[in-house]
Each structure stands twice: as structure tokens, then as C-alpha cells.
Amino acid sequence: METEIPSPKKSLVLAGGGMRVAYQAGVVLALEEAGLRFDHVDGTSGGIFNTAMLASGLRAKQMAGNWRTLKLSGFVSFTRFRNYLNPFKINGFADADGIKNKVFPHLGINISKINANTDFQASFNVCNFLEKSVEAIPGEIVKQDHLLAGVSLPIFMPALQIDDTWYTDAVWIKDANLLEAVRQGSTDIWLVWAIGNTPTFLRGSFSQYVHMIEMSANGGLLEEYKQIELIKKLRKLEGDDTPIRLFVIKSRIPLLLDPDFFFNKINARELINIGYSNAKDYLKAVPEGGEVLDESLTKNREPNYILSFRSCFSGSIKMENETVGVGFHLYFRFCEFGASHVLEIYSSLEDRKKGEEQPCFSHTFSKTKSAFQTKLVIRGKVIRGVELLDFDAETTMTNPIELLLGLNFKRLNFKLRRENDKLIGQGILTQSMKDRIGAMFYAQVKSIFPQRIGIKKKIKLIEKFIAHEI
């Protein structure tokens, strides 16, 4: 009789990243579709939200749906007015009431369910201010105040006192607790990383506050790499060749920051779609022995300029046996790296009858130019029910001025095919004038350079976007 080889114990480590961690819901959905199941899930800083949702019994689609419909005003909860009269003695510019009373309930975070969860071991990292160390609180004993303290960034939110000890966000020590995963006995550690790691030191107090977080988070991660390598060497001396493999899913281009989320320059849907697509790409070529533990793992490719905008189409698709009302949501990131350019496209398909939305992946595009317009065809894959389908989405662009004013992307010819290229659904989707103007209002150009970005530069980037790879 053959001895059954046990599968490696797996940990899912959800690092911080502010409200950008909506990205992680898309990653978790892709991992769930791939059949990956985790024995341990660990959350730090913003990653606590998603860890708590999973430990509350939510599946990935529920998580994504809750993020899409979350009102960001829940994150804003002002303290008493008189506290602002003395800013040098204020505990924090906001308090945790909004997160406790609005964000947690909407996301489906339930302490009783977390304490009773037996599907996997959960751990939540907080900074124990008395010991100046990271404390991983097990899910079975975690309190709501631990979760609130774990997402309370100093200056912005006050530390919380729990059982005579002050606790706050652990990000200043580490933003991902890989060693807790090792302590749990995991040999496969899947890290989802949303914090930036870019080479340019930007101006401004907010940018530099973010840089401090990046330095702490990435520096802490590098130290954990060294400790994991040492643990592996010590085990080998004792005759234990059990591997510890790390897999890292992140965005190649830095994710936009929380203020961009607040001002609708990017939204939860788009972050989810980016995370899902990134994870699908990573799962195509997972390194068999895990990643090489060095500083390159979390580095982003930093554009000189990045143009980002969305397009939201709606209408009906005639399927084989029914007509389905749908929404098709597109998000573009056009990045300039000196003389080269990269276009990233992300999307999701919404079935409005079922009230379900599915991110798409494996996007490609082609463009053809005629005398007065450029035709853009976006292709990709989407899972509908249990079936993997291919889609084509065709629209037209005219000139940079009209695109800037929201006069392009009026209609989209949408087709769904099975993998054998059999057409099973098609329809004309439209984007309302309100959505087109709104999309261009929320479009933005970001740069690493301190100079103000004027209209000429925006038009220049749009020209390059229209002409890209024709």
C-alpha cells in the first residue's frame, strides 16, 4: 500500500496598503478559482480587512461584491471639534467609529464568526506598543479592538488601549508577517503585496509619509527573508530538508494611493480587476521552487507618466437561449517610460439579472487606423458560470480632443465565444454621455516629475495612447 504524501501546508499572507487592499479580493478570487486552499491566513494593516472577511466565512465573490459597494465615507470619522484646536496634542485626525460602525458591518466582518472559525487558522498583526513588537493575535481570541488597532495608522488614527496595553498599526515594524506563517508550520507562503516599492523619492509631506511606510514595510520584509533563509539552513543541519517556498503576487505598476481612491480616480472595482488579472498571470507560470528571496520581489516598474481612465458600457447580449442585461467595465493604464510605452487593460463583466460581476483576464488588444478614426479591439477571457469564454470588445476612437472631452467610446460591439471559436452571444453596448464625461473628469495623469502637468501633456499622452502599437 502506497503512503499518501501530504500536501504542503499553505499560508496566505495579506499585507497592508490602505484601502488599496480591495486589490486583494481580486487575487483571492483567482486563487480560489485555481483550487488553492489555505491552512492559515494572516493579515497586517489593511490586509486585516480581507483576513477578517475570510475568517467571517465570506467567499471571494462576496468579498469583491462588498468592496465594490462600500461607501468610502465610512472611513472618515472625525473626532470632537475641540481636539482640532490643539493639533500638536491631538491623538489622531480621525477616530475608529466609522470603521467600527460602517465599514466592518458592510464588509461582513463579524467577531463572533471569526472567533468560531475552524476552516483555517487566522492571525491578525498589531503593534504591541509596550514591547515595541509585532503581536500576532489568533483568530479564536481576537477582539474587535485588535482589528481596529491593527488598521490605526499613527497621526491619522489613535492607538487603542486593550487590557492595559496600547496597540496600533504594525506597519512601522513590518507589513507582512512571513515568520508567523513559518511558525504555523507552512511550507508554501503566498504573499499578496499592495504597498509600493519605487525608486523615486517624491516631494511633499504626504508622499514622504507614504515613503516612510514603504521603507518600513519593504525593509521589514527583507529582514524576514534573511531569517527564513537562516531557518532553512538550521533545519538542513538537523537533517530536515523541508522547503519554505514564497510566492508573491503584486502589481507591476504601483497602485494609486488612498486619496486617488477617495476622489474616484480609481475605485474598488478597478483594484479588484487588477488584482484578479495579476493573479491569473502569476498562476500561469508559478516558480516551482518559489521566488528568490531578494529585494527585487516587491519592486514596481515606475513610469515617468501614467494616464489612467475608465469606460463603463451597458446594454444587452443575445445569448443562445436568452437575452442578458450586462455591464462591461473597462479600466486603462497607459504608461510612458522614456521612449517606450505600455498599455494595461483591465475589465469585468456584470450580469445584471443575476446581480453578479466577474473580472476578466488575459487581455490583449489590436488597433487599425483609417482616415478619420482608430478601431480598438480588446480581447480577453471571462468565466461565466462554470464555462470559460473568450470575448471581443470593439470600439472606435477619433482624435485626442474628442477623447479628452468624453466624445469617444460611445458604442461597443461585444461578442462572446466558446474556446472552439463558436459565437454564443453578441450585442451592442453603449456608454452614456454622463458616463463618458464623468470618466474623463476622473481620468488623470500622474508623474514622478515635480512640474505641473498641463493640458498639452495630457493631449500628447492621449495621442500616443491612440497610436500605440498601430
Residue numbers annotated as active site: 45, 169
- The label of the residue with cell 518600513 reads 216
CB 347 within 8 A of CB 458: no
CA atoms within 13 A on the CB side of 131: 8
Nearest CA-CA partner of 415 in 391, 379, 385:
391
Nearest CA-CA partner of 190 in 80, 75, 40:
40
Beta bridge partners of 334: 307, 343
Helices (DSSP H) in 318-452: which residue ranges?
Answer: 400-404, 433-442
Q: Would you give the DSSP letter of residue 458?
A: H
Cα 444 to Cα 311: distance, rounded to the nearest angstrom: 13
CB 207 within 8 A of CB 448: no
- Amino acid sitting at position 88: F
Is 71 in a helix, a strand, or coil? coil
Grid cell at residue 106: 458592510
Q: Would you give the DSSP letter of residue 321?
A: S
Cα 93 to Cα 79: distance, rounded to the nearest angstrom: 7
Grid cell at residue 306: 501614467
Cα 286 to Cα 284: distance, rounded to the nearest angstrom: 6
Is 218 in a helix, a strand, or coil? helix
CB 181 within 8 A of CB 11: yes
Helices (DSSP H) in 135-174: which residue ranges?
Answer: 144-150
Q: Is 257 left (phi over 0), alpha (psi -120 to 50) or beta?
A: beta
Helices (DSSP H) in 264-408: which residue ranges?
Answer: 268-284, 400-404
Crossing angle of helices 22-33 and 60-68, in 10° steps, is 150
- Counting Cβ atoms within 10 Å, is residue 130 exposed (0-12), middle (13-18) or buried (19+)? exposed
Would you state the torsion angle of the CA atoms of residues 218, 195, 186, 272, taken in this order, to the nearest 10 degrees? Answer: -170
- Counting Cβ atoms within 10 Å, is residue 93 exposed (0-12), middle (13-18) or buried (19+)? middle
Report the 10 Å Cβ neighbour count for 40.
21
